[in-house]
Structure 1
Amino acid sequence: MKSNEELQKNVVDAINWEPLLQAAEIGVKADNGVITLTGAVNTYIKKSEAELAAKNVAGVKSVIEKIEVVFNIHDTKTDAEITAAIANVFKWHWDIPGDKITITVENGWVFLTGELEWNYQKEAAKNAVSNLIGIKGITNNISITTSSKDVIETKDIEIAIERNGGINNKNIEVCVLHNIVTLKGHVDSWHQKSEAGRIAWNAPGVKQVQNDLYVDFDEL
């Protein structure tokens, strides 16, 4: 296992490697694989990028994100302006059924609700909003209500995970109950955990994925 000092340096280097974050003042603390991020940035996307950069570092088990979004006077937007901008962005994305999504903005924080058929649509909605100026945070409460009549086959999900070259550790148990898929076991990185969850979501008929995979980095 990496020492706290080594892991902290690795995360700092990973954050500084991202072009969006090179000028950002982000504090990093490491404690037995748990990373805490602090500081302030001027856009929500920078906050998200910092968290993702930290999660992708080998040896990181979890990330506690405490970064604040602080705007300069020119980037401040009213809730009405943000709502209108989001509605307009949705119109330009073929993969986002904007008419099925309700947008609420409170003091710069965006709340998305509604029902969609696929998780990729839910993720696309959040990603489209993330790049907008004036956003302090996003709560994605969109639920998945699939119309698929397919029976979710545990074996199909297991095979899909096994054939993914980015997931080296095969100690993953897939459990299916009704339309809910639960992933158990351990993987070597946060990226592998995220990728396994994404693959499970791709199965037709899935309404929810409970990703209980434990990140257990074992450095050889």
Structure 2
Amino acid sequence: MSGLLIRQDVREFEPSVNAANIGIAVENGVATLTGHVESYMEKAAAEHIEIRHPERKKRVDDEIATRAFDIITCDTALPDGAVDVKVERGCVILSG
């Protein structure tokens, strides 16, 4: 999906946010919002915009975590249990 279509989807997804003062940059399919809003409610709405396209299968967090763990355990230089994997809403968080 092109950056232009993603920007359009983000602008139209949350009608409670006045998009006039919001900039949307898209890189590698990820939209980043910049600018300002007029109220806390608009801020909260803008922070939680999530666009899901039906033509793209989104992996569930468990599948992503399993794959990340498998990749990490292939590194023989790391002792077992040295790195913890946590996934929230598709974002991988590594600790250890």
Give, in whole Å, the separation in 1 of the partners of 2:17 and 2:40: 12
Q: Does 1:47 align with 2:46?
A: no
Equivalent residues in 2 for 1:53-202, closer than 5 Å:
53=49, 56-58=50-52, 169=59, 172-173=62-63, 184-185=65-66
Deviation at 1:5, TM superposition (A): 1.3
Q: TM-score, normalised by structure 1?
A: 0.26
Tell me the number of residue pairs that the alignment of Structure 1 and Structure 2 aligns: 70
CA contact (8 A) 1:184 1:213 kept: no
CA contact (8 A) 1:7 1:30 kept: yes
Give, in whole Å, the separation in 1 of the partners of 2:9 and 2:36: 20
Return the letter of the residue paired with 1:172.
D
CA contact (8 A) 1:25 1:39 kept: yes
Give, in whole Å, the separation in 1 of the partners of 2:19 and 2:2: 26
Which stretches of structure 1, 4 residues or more, deviate above 3 A after TM superposition? Answer: 168-171, 212-215
The structure that is strand-richer by fraction is 1
Return the letter of the residue paired with 1:214.
G
Deviation at 1:23, TM superposition (A): 6.5
Give, in whole Å, the separation in 1 of the partners of 2:7 and 2:19: 18
Give, in whole Å, the separation in 1 of the partners of 2:23 and 2:88: 28
What's 2:13 paired with?
Answer: 14
CA contact (8 A) 1:172 1:184 kept: yes
> What is the root-mean-square deviation in Å for CA atoms of aligned residues?
3.3
Q: TM-score, normalised by structure 2?
A: 0.52
Deviation at 1:24, TM superposition (A): 5.2
Q: Does 1:36 align with 2:35?
A: no
Between the aligned residues of both structures, percent identity stands at 28
Give, in whole Å, the separation in 1 of the partners of 2:61 and 2:17: 34
Deviation at 1:22, TM superposition (A): 3.7
CA contact (8 A) 1:24 1:40 kept: no
Q: Structure 2: any 5+ residue segments left out of the alignment? A: 68-85, 92-96
The 1:170/1:34 distance shift into structure 2, 3 A limit, reads closer
Q: Does 1:211 align with 2:92?
A: no
